[in-house]
């Protein structure tokens, strides 16, 4: 296929993959998209879509490598839910902050848009929740009111895993999972976090010294450390929810399968 024709086909696929209800939108892009990045992003989206179709699942946890976190021994930066719609395409439900700001919103996007957000590496990981977990998540992810029940708009990229002052994207996802799955009913973030602790979820501990914390806080509106307990913060222990920790915990808690990696 000729390059121009191939690019045209990719763009058409991208437009078809976007879901544009009231909560739709794009993350803030640091760099303008190039034909090469569009092609690779769409190729990864198509590959993931085929893999998810083959899984037979209706709901999966989906992670992408949006940032380079290798110095923290982390592979993925961002966690979302992907749901198989009755119409056929997979849609992504996730939380994003606005262009480096301290405010976040919930979004619904197509797979193509999800993988065009200036990734560090064109790679994804996904895990299939157990059938009962999928059945519990499905109605929550379709209901805007329940979808936002755990959402705290005040955003910090390193929000304390067991705090409520801020919330980052991975934290919203795992707390929403708790809302859906907890048998006794979860109505607020405190209850969701209690359920997660009872079921053995362990956040990632980042070792960040005072100079690193100061530089990050001064240079970025979307990073704050004042929600972390003093005894942990001043010991350079920043406990936060990461995509890697959620993927590791899901099979350990008996809530789903081990993660599958897929990339270009």
- Select from 182, 40, 196, 42 the least CA-distant residue to 112: 42
The domain total for the chain is 1
Q: Which residues of 224-262 are buried (b: 16+ CB within 10 A; e: fewer)?
A: bbebbeeeebeeeebbbbbbbbbbbbbeeeebbbebbeb
- Whole-angstrom Cα Rg for the chain: 18
- Per-residue confidence (pLDDT) for residue 249, from 0 to 100: 98
Tokens read off for 83: 């749901």
Report d(CA 248, CA 27) in Å as an integer. 26
- Per-residue confidence (pLDDT) for residue 103, from 0 to 100: 92
Tokens read off for 62: 């989906």
> Domain range for residue 122?
3-263
Please name the residue that has the structure tokens 């708790």: 178
pTM of the full structure: 0.86
Tokens read off for 170: 């991975």
- Per-residue confidence (pLDDT) for residue 102, from 0 to 100: 87
- Per-residue confidence (pLDDT) for residue 219, from 0 to 100: 52
Tokens read off for 251: 């099979």
Beta carbons within 10 angstroms of residue 178's beta carbon: 22
* pLDDT (tens place) for every residue of the chain, 264 residues total: 444 444 444 444 444 443 333 333 334 445 567 788 889 999 999 999 999 999 999 999 999 998 889 888 999 999 999 999 988 899 999 999 887 688 999 999 999 999 987 678 999 999 999 999 999 999 999 999 999 999 999 999 999 999 999 999 999 999 999 999 998 878 999 999 999 999 999 999 998 766 455 545 545 678 899 999 999 988 989 999 999 999 999 999 999 999 999 998
CATH of the domain at 11: 3.90.1720.10
């Amino acid at each position: 296929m000729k390059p121009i024709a191939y690019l045209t086909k990719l763009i058409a696929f991208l437009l078809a993959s976007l879901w544009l209800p009231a909560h739709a939108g794009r993350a803030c892009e640091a760099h303008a998209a190039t034909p090469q990045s569009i092609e690779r992003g769409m190729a990864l989206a198509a590959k993931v879509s085929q893999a998810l179709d083959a899984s037979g699942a209706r709901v999966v946890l989906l992670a992408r490598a949006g940032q380079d976190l290798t110095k923290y021994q982390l592979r993925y930066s961002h966690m979302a839910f992907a749901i198989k719609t009755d119409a056929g395409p997979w849609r992504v439900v996730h939380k994003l902050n606005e262009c480096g700001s301290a405010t976040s919103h919930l979004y619904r996007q197509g797979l193509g848009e999800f993988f065009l957000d200036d990734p560090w590496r064109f790679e994804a990981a996904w895990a299939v929740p157990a059938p009962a977990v999928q059945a519990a998540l499905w109605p929550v992810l379709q209901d805007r009111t329940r979808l936002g029940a755990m959402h705290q708009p005040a955003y910090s990229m390193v929000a304390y895993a067991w705090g409520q002052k801020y919330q980052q994207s991975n934290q919203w996802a795992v707390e929403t999972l708790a809302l859906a799955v907890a048998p006794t009913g979860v109505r607020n973030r405190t209850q969701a976090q209690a359920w997660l602790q009872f079921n053995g979820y362990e956040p990632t501990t980042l070792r960040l010294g005072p100079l690193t914390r100061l530089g990050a806080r001064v240079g970025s509106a979307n990073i704050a450390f004042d929600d972390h307990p003093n005894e942990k913060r001043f010991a350079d222990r920043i406990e936060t929810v990461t995509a890697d920790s959620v993927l590791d915990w899901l099979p350990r808690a008996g809530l789903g399968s081990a993660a599958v990696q897929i990339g270009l």
